[in-house]
Structure 1
Amino acid sequence: MTPYYRFDDIPDRHRLDLLLPQQKIYGKKSGFESEEQSAAEDIERVRLLEVTNRKEALALACRLGGERTPQTMASSRFMREARLRFGASILDGLEPWPKEHIRLVTQLPRSGEVRAKHLIDQNPRDHLERLRQQINRTDPGDGSGLLISVLEAELEPNSGVLRFHTHGVATGSYINRLRELHDLGAYKARAQVAKPLQLNRINDDDSRARVFSYLLKSFWKKRWIGSVGDDSAVKRERELHRLDEPYHTDMLLWLDRHSMSNISLYMGCRMRNSKIVLTDPQLSAPYMTRTLT
């Protein structure tokens, strides 16, 4: 069990585990996973890793099975703590920004589609650097704001395709810069991906904790996507599932090789001591007008 004092430096208004209902790690229910759920998930991951009898999988299982939280993204316990810290940083850093100047960003570029069997060869920095370069070629506008994006992947089981994509949050000039990406071929609609680039508003301030918790997750998921009915309409399964083997083990081994810094992109800001620091606060000051009552 993670003691409460480990997070007593985070104000209650920024603690996702206090602001959100309990989540099912797989399934439909959204929210935030409990300590008990994360511990149970690590136990299940150990069991599945041991069944593979793969040498590196067995070594990872030994680390995940320890009493202390292992320092690896392959651990549900570790990711719960990372999500708490990261979520608090986002809530704190965007607190002065009115919702009108914030967009939630999802990017599914064509280049992110890879065969699941080639996962272990994927370098997360390559995916994020490609995104950085795309944005750097857009009009910087007044230079205000920030973009924070986190890389993850989703498996479509029938095709065996992993879709690397990012979930992020943008403010200020980065909103228009992202809109410019609609003109790139990488973000044109294609089979199974109707909207490769999405910029969504926050409906109300009370939903900030919920929508920001979506940026960084504690697991990857499998979701069926395919054509159904006489009109062959493309449908997405709503319920989330654990990846099948050998992809589940490959995912854990891949996550174990990388770190939070490898899957995170910061533009117009940086993360320092769990705080989001703007590169040039003066440029963003005119937008940061929200006050808490």
Structure 2
Amino acid sequence: MPIRRSIVGIDSPDRLATSLRDAQYLADDSLATAAYLALALGKPLLLEGAPGVGKTEGAKAIASVLGRQLVRLQCYEGIDSAHALYEWNYPRQMLAIRQAREEFVNIYADDFLIARPMLEALRHPRDTVLLIDEIDRADHEFEAFLLEFLSDFSISIPERGTIRAQEHPVVVLTSNRTRELHEALRRRCVYHWIDYPHPTREAEIVMMRASQVAHDTAYRVVAAVGALRAEPLAKPPGVAETVEWAEAATLLHEQGAAWPAAFRRAIGVALKDQDDLTFLESRLDDMLREAAA
């Protein structure tokens, strides 16, 4: 059975949504509910969605709300358990052996243990939030290892024995869905799909994250980003790019650039792929002019 956590000050999805807003993260009711249930039931939270919709920022905001350190494990092709759990500091062990000469030295003491994110979360479950970022980039073997870890939140170190968490750590997994995750892993988690926000909410995010951006500018930028996302781009702008584009265009506008020229001159903040820029080259000015109208 999942372990129910006592979350000080967070007794409902609405309360969590308010706390996340205070941490500069706007969560709709469905996301706030999924996050609340994951926290309350002691289950990992799996956030899926396109790149740039706020999955990682959501984990950071949860850590901020809980007053905990975010411990991030960035997944990649070929990642193995050593990078996720722990490693021994072999050079330091060898140096200690040489310096000790005939005296006994415990080369498997904490001083020689390099804790990686998953071990750190096991050791300090009440002080950390473990973010397993972009799990879909890892291979199936690592996913199977992760499934075992999430089953009992313990690891075995041959030289030290088994380390088991005193309570279930808070775990957030993210996936860009570049591949399907194993069904067994999904069953361990509370799942939520994060889509691009509604234009009104995205404009709110812009004004929250970039307070110097005017109301009208925020909506112009969101309209332009919406038009860009409707195109078959290799790398459509995410929410972070929307905020940064609004900031950049505002800066150029304050220096004398008119709309939509300010958008056009700052386009490298929103689109970061040459093929995308080439694809839109003949229509980009008209798209931005329409969004800025």
TM class by shorter-chain length? Answer: under 0.3
> How high is the TM-score relative to the length of structure 2?
0.27
Q: Which entry has the higher C-alpha Rg, 1 or 2? A: 2
> How high is the TM-score relative to the length of structure 1?
0.27
Question: RCO greater where, 1 or 2, for CA within 8 Å and sep 6 or more?
Answer: 1
Higher helix residue share: 2
